[in-house]
Amino acid sequence: MAADEYDSPGGSQSALRRSNQRKILDVLRRTGPTSQAALARTCGLSRSAVNVIIRSLSADGLVAVTAGVNGRETEVALVTTTGAVLAIDLGHRRLHGVLFDFESKRRRDEVVDLGGSHEAQTDVEAVARLVDRLLDRGGVSRDDVLSVCVALHAPYESISHRISGSGIWPGWRGLDVEGTLRERLALPVIVDNDANLAALAEWTWGPGRGADELLYAKCANGIGSGLVLGGRIFGGSNGMAGELGHIVVDDREALCNCGNRGCLSAVASGRALRLKLAAAGEPKESLLEVITAARAGDPACRRLLGESGRAIGFALAHAVKLIAPSVIVIGGEMAAADTMLLDPMRSELEANLLDTVSGPPRLERGIRRADVSVLGCAARVLADAGSGVSELPAWMLTPAAQPAKERV
């Protein structure tokens, strides 16, 4: 018997209808554009019930219905036509703010140079000024903002709303980040680690779309990671599950800022590569310069990228033994090294896994954009609001103008 053909245990038809709507929205979030027939099969509903719900969701501006590829079945996709999202990427040296205005279908970006040090009061004021400018220049009322989502480039305990005592951003230690920003901005605020939010973007729109278990590794100047289980960011008991960068891979190696020796970040990150090259008398100004030199045949750069790939693959193998993800997505600046990094990573991963009938998890390069965490902010806010966007429209990927740059 189809789920729509009987009452809910409490006898409430409206509660049953809301439950079925949530089922349909969850399926669309997981699969992307889908036919109504497929929705009926997946949700265990009759086609007539799905048709009624889709008409209601369409009237509310939550879905769009278009002709399918075969010209017979219609295709349903998530859309968002009202409200705005403010996404703030708070990095070590810069602040990148994006206003996504879903009513006017416009994106506005601004960038602030923070310098090298982080003091909580200074940074919070910089965020507040950035939010004010984005709203003012975008012509968006504060009442239309669904939420401000902040991606922190630091270990963040989402339960206590504080940055962990790992030696990163000591000027923020002890601060209730979410509470402080909510009070200063007078807007709803969500805060999470940048890798967690990037993982959600990869699950929502990237190669890990809809995976039941996704492990994301951000390989850049540091190494971070995020877990998405059942369509939600998994943070564990304190919000910090999945700290891949702090798995010890060689306790004879360099000291990490967390206090341990030989963490993956201290051994295989972009920062670690540059320190090794500098010690060998071949300094490089940036990770991009390392990758460019490797592509041009520089033996030291190619070797170090390969060593990093193997170290990351070794760490991933241990993570796989614990959580058995169906897909691993590799992002961050180091992913631009492509096969020079991914091939040794894949080899080391497979060499250190338990032998299973299903084989190793799928290893994919992630969305090839530098603003993946910003997109993850949008995905998080929309999901929390019970809406979403099945396919990224061009306007969400393209600023209306070149990002304005300011200094604190």
Enumerate the domain spans of the chain: 3-78, 84-197+371-407, 207-365
The pLDDT value recorded for residue 15 is: 86
Angle at 75 between CA 71 and CA 77, to 5 degrees: 150
Domain 3-78 in CATH 1.10.10.10? The answer is: yes
What is the pLDDT, as a whole number, of residue 168?
77
**What digits encode the pLDDT tens for the residues 223-233?**
999 999 999 99
Q: Check residue 401 and give its pLDDT.
A: 67
pLDDT per residue as tens digits for the range 28-82: 989 889 999 999 999 999 999 999 999 999 999 899 998 866 666 789 999 999 9
**Residue type for 278, please?**
A
**Which tokens in the block code for residue 81?**
């036509």
Neighbours of 18 (CB within 10 A): 12
The DSSP symbol for 283 reads -
Token digits for 260? 């341990």
| Superfamily for the 207-365 domain | ATPase, nucleotide binding domain (3.30.420.40)
The tens digit of pLDDT for each residue in 80-99 reads: 999 999 999 999 889 999 99
- pLDDT < 50 regions, the chain: 1-9
Q: How far apart are CA 34 and CA 25, in angstroms?
A: 11
- Cα(74)–Cα(196) distance, integer angstroms: 34
Cα separation values, 217 from 109, 113, 264, 312, Å: 25, 26, 12, 9
Whole-number pLDDT of residue 74: 82
Domains 84-197+371-407 and 207-365 fall in the same CATH topology = yes
Looking at the DSSP assignment, which residues form a beta bridge with residue 225? 217
Look at residue 6 in the predicted model and tell me its pLDDT. 35
Domain 84-197+371-407 annotated CATH 3.30.420.40: yes
Work out the end-to-end distance of the chain between its first and last CA atoms, rounded to an integer number of angstroms.
Answer: 62
How big is the CA angle at 307 (ends 306 and 309), to the nearest 5 degrees?
Answer: 65
pLDDT value at residue 403: 65
Q: With both helix axes pointing from N to C terminus, report the angle between 299-323 and 270-279 in degrees, rounded to the nearest 10.
A: 150
